[in-house]
Structure 1
Amino acid sequence: MNIESYSDLLLAAGMQSEPQRLLFVFAKAELPAGYTHKQKDNFEQGKGGTLSPVLCVDKLPEEVTDFKVLVSESNVIGVNWDIAFVSALAGRGGFSPNSDEASQPLKMMTEKIQNGMINEFLTFNKQGELVSLY
């Protein structure tokens, strides 16, 4: 299935043979350490910069049927972010993974993002739109 929206992601999760737990790593766009004048200009125009993880969360698909729920929750706890990286963790034996089982995959996801290895994750902006990062 080609995922083109957050709704598609939820649909795809529901179509899997085992129940899923969604993994979210929220990141903030920042200027890199030792940035140049050109990098600063590009950043101010919404181009370039680095994405630094600021929050990790795992949810069952039925807990986040609307992307606005995630945005609202992050606003309540006061975490400012620009991009949400999303992946899924499959359950087994007909049971969804629990939050304890999601902690290590979330840690690995965060490390991959910090190292720029983001091509295996879906990325959404705060409006819940799928975005492509390059």
Structure 2
Amino acid sequence: MISSYQDLVKASQNEHEPQRFLFVFCKAELPDDASAAERAAFERGEGGALTPVICVDKTPDEAPDFTVLAEESRTTGQDWDMVFVAAMSGRGGTEPSSDEAQQPMTMMVESIRMGNVGNYLPLDQSGQAVSLG
């Protein structure tokens, strides 16, 4: 069971093929037409919509520790509340390239925008898995 980013990195080391991680950092936002109840829930840290603000792909070796990844994200100037992670497997012992990751990353962003996040690992700002819903 994966309950943190470190668990994900460890699991990737046990895969037969090399991995590339896809990261979509999201900001929780409240729609302009939100009701008073929705606003109150949002103030308690519940509800809202997750808007992708940063996308990046890295190998587990390029991002072995979540704190380094989080620090790097802060250099963009974009605030974020949660990050979704997916993994791509290589073929024939070769890891997927960044170019190969572009289409899956675009599909991942669109999926998150539509609220379909079940295929991704959601992590909080400290790299711990989050239960959604």
Please, what TM-score do these two structures have when normalized by structure 1? Answer: 0.96
Spell out the pairing of 1:1-134 with structure 2 (5 A cutoff): 2-134=1-133
Size of the aligned set, in residue pairs, is 133
Higher helix share: 1
Which amino acid counterpart does residue 22 of structure 1 have in structure 2? F
Please, what TM-score do these two structures have when normalized by structure 2? 0.97
| Per-residue deviation, 1:65 | 1.0
RMSD: 0.8
C-alpha distance in 2, partners of 1:80/1:4? 23
Which contiguous aligned blocks of 4+ residues in structure 1 show a shift greater than 4 angstroms?
A: none
- Unaligned runs of at least 5 residues, structure 2: none
Q: CA deviation at 1:4?
A: 1.6
SS of residue matched to 1:77: coil
Q: Secondary structure at the match of 1:10?
A: helix
CA distance in 1, matches of 2:104, 2:72: 21
5+ unaligned residues in a row in structure 1: which ranges?
Answer: none
